[in-house]
Structure 1
Amino acid sequence: GEKRLAFRLVSRILSNKIVNRETFIRLMPTFWRTVDEVETKIVSGNTFFFTFKSATDLNRVLHGGPWIFDKSLLVLEKPIGKGDIQEMAFNTTAFWVQIHHIPLLCRTKKIGIFLGGLIGEVQEIDTSST
């Protein structure tokens, strides 16, 4: 059940062409710099199922992106309970963005959330530098 899904991710490469799957399976753990081996299964087309041996490796991959393969974006989702992988949306991924030329008086967390919200969903604001 849920415990078996704890260290698993499903991914889809957003491309109109089928990527070289063997190369993808061989290279992605190297790009991700996982400590332990990652088990990868092809679901269909450009959709893959990954099983990690540790939460550390899984979290590094999940939060270390965005990931690109063969000039195409790799979208990751964590499976939740039982369900059909084909029904998963694969429609969001996190990007770190930096907004320049903001007047000094407007460099607040509130303005950052507002401006970021114009681009997409804001997950975090870095207020460490101005």
Structure 2
Amino acid sequence: MDSEFIERMQRIKLTNEEGEIIQVCPSQRGKILEECSLSLFGKFLTNRPFNQRAAKNILRTTWKFGSDLKIIDMGEGLFLFKFAMESQLTWVLNNGPWSFDNYLLLLRRWEKGMNANTIKFTHCSMWVQVWGLPFELFSEDVASDIGRGIGPMVEVDCKGATSDLAKFLRIRVEVPLEKPL
């Protein structure tokens, strides 16, 4: 940027009227925060147009929460999913990743202070299978080491490492979206 422009911007001052503080009534704040805490933001990983109504209907049908689930279009391809219970939200997060028309649905849990302009999707939680390991490496510790090499660890499927049919390890990780698979 032009340094003269930056200097002019730094000299701008608010008038008393422009700088007036507006008080927000806290009477419903607890209820609103509780509703927000049961929310996920979602965005499909695509730049192409897609049938948003069909996507919302498919998710409603797949998740089977009926009227307990509210899906709000926030614009710019961003959706807000409001759940009635924590267990529903947790189930959606734990049973993904989800997709529609081969477009991955990125999900992010609501955090205080988030708004539609600042939310960023940087990771996607998914199960990774590790095939072809030597038998002596079929362990939870090795799975954790491999998972941490991919991204932040979520969990290891111990059944895969200890079952009679152990052919691969299953690891749930937060895969960074900028990292090539």
Indicate the SS of the match to 1:123. strand
RMSD: 1.7
Aligned to 1:71: 102
List, as ranges, runs of 4+ consecutive aligned residues in structure 1 with deviation greater than 3 Å: none
TM-score (norm 2): 0.65
Q: CA deviation at 1:35?
A: 5.5
Q: 1:27 & 1:4 partners in 2: Cα distance?
A: 23
Bigger relative CO (Cα 8 Å, ≥ 6 apart): 1
Equivalent position to 2:58, from 27, 41, 44: 27
Aligned to 2:119: 88
Which 10-residue stretch deviates more, 34-43 or 97-106? 34-43
Equivalent position to 1:51, from 69, 77, 82: 82
Alignment length (residue pairs): 130
- Which blocks of at least 5 consecutive residues in structure 2 are unaligned? 1-31, 167-181
When Rg is computed on C-alpha atoms for both structures, the one with the higher figure is 2
The alignment status of 1:39 with 2:70, answered yes or no, reads yes
Amino acid at match of 2:94: H
More strand by share: 2
Identity %: 23
Q: 1:112 & 1:62 partners in 2: Cα distance?
A: 21
Q: CA deviation at 1:64?
A: 1.0
Which 10-residue stretch deviates more, 61-70 or 16-25? 16-25
Which 10-residue stretch deviates more, 71-80 or 52-61? 52-61
Q: 1:77 & 1:94 partners in 2: Cα distance?
A: 10
TM-score (norm 1): 0.87
Which 10-residue stretch deviates more, 43-52 or 28-37? 28-37
Aligned to 1:61: 92
- Which blocks of at least 5 consecutive residues in structure 1 are unaligned? none
